[in-house]
Amino acid sequence: AQKITQTQPGMFVQEKEAVTLDCTYDTSDPSYGLFWYKQPSSGEMIFLIYQGSYDQQNATEGRYSLNFQKARKSANLVISASQLGDSAMYFCAMREITGGGNKLTFGTGTQLKVEL
Amino acid sequence: GAGVSQSPSNKVTEKGKDVELRCDPISGHTALYWYRQSLGQGLEFLIYFQGNSAPDKSGLPSDRFSAERTGGSVSTLTIQRTQQEDSAVYLCASSLRRGWGAEAFFGQGTRLTVV
């Protein structure tokens, strides 16, 4: 089974609108962390936001928020007021505590394109 | 340095040759990861180093791949007898803390092309 599933290979959004990128995960560990990264065409991986499994509130970082629904095992990224510079590949990732919390497992990504 | 540094940024090699990819993590970061990203794909975990602990090598695809980390800092990923399917971007990341909440900071990657 896939640890991280991103079902949207590509998304389009108009500038200034909000967009939600889906991510579901699979783990039996009670302790885990969820991450979102942005990868522009330049190739660098940019950390955006983190949610811990025990966090009571959804994480927010500026225009980014993480819609964490633990029972449904989903960790969707919401980008508000989209900008042209948000066009990039977005990866959801999870780190589990099993095995010492070593492996950060990534989904296959969602390509977001912001249009005028 | 200010960020994770990888060298070379690009490498073209002939099939069957050995290559070495270098990663300089952020100073003070005890954890170091190697990932591989094929064109248009997600990130494939290769290996993880944490301090002086034995590395997690569970992601290495074959015994042609190996990595070491000297002095808890610089890491080298070595691919022996390269094959065309090894062509990919190899990304290195480091993190400050151990545990599930430690975000990883990535380098720019090394684009490896095996011809």
Query: In the prediction, which pLDDT does B103 show?
Result: 85
Least Cα distance to A25 among A53, A51, A4, A50 occurs for A4
Query: In the prediction, which pLDDT does A101 show?
Result: 61
Least Cα distance to A99 among B36, B99, B105 occurs for B99
Among all chains, which residue has been given the structure tokens 């494939």? Answer: B44
A/B interface, count of CB pairs below 8 Å: 69
Q: How far is B72 from chain A (nearest CA, A)?
A: 16
- Cα dist. B60→A100, B35, B48, B65 in Å? 18, 10, 10, 6
Q: What is the spatial distance between Cα B114 and Cα A96, in angstroms, rounded to a whole number?
A: 34
Strand positions, DSSP E, chain A: 4-5, 10-14, 19-21, 24-25, 32-39, 46-52, 60-61, 64-69, 74-79, 88-96, 104-106, 110-115
Q: pLDDT (tens digit, 9 = 90+) per residue, A16-32?
A: 999 999 999 999 988 89
Q: Tell me if A43 and B108 make a contact (CB, 8 A cut-off).
A: yes
For residue A33, pLDDT beyond 60: yes
Average pLDDT rounded to a whole number, residues A50-73:
95
Least Cα distance to B13 among B92, B88, B74 occurs for B88
Q: pLDDT (tens digit, 9 = 90+) per residue, B55-102?
A: 989 999 999 999 999 887 999 999 999 999 999 999 999 988 766 677
Q: What pLDDT band is residue B40 in, cutting at 50, 70 and 90?
A: confident
Query: In the prediction, which pLDDT does A29 show?
Result: 87
Query: In the prediction, which pLDDT does B85 show?
Result: 95
Contacts of A104 in chain B (CB under 8 A): 33, 45, 93, 104
Q: What pLDDT band is residue A35 in, cutting at 50, 70 and 90?
A: very high
Overall residue count recorded for chain A in this entry: 116
Interface of A with B in 43-72 (CB under 8 A): 43-47, 50, 52-53
Which of A4, A34, A102, A106 would you mutate first to test chain B, the one with the most B CBs within 10 A? A102
Strands B10-13 and B110-114, sheet pairing? parallel
Query: In the prediction, which pLDDT does B99 show?
Result: 66
Q: How far is A8 from chain B (nearest CA, A)?
A: 13
Q: How far is A110 from chain B (nearest CA, A)?
A: 10
- B contact set with A (CB within 8 A): 33, 35, 41-43, 45, 48, 50, 53, 56, 58-59, 89, 91, 93, 98-109
For residue A82, pLDDT beyond 60: yes
A104 reaches B (C-beta below 8 A): yes
Q: Tell me if B42 and A33 make a contact (CB, 8 A cut-off).
A: no
Average pLDDT rounded to a whole number, residues A53-63:
94
Least Cα distance to B89 among B67, B106, B70 occurs for B106
Query: In the prediction, which pLDDT does A1 show?
Result: 61
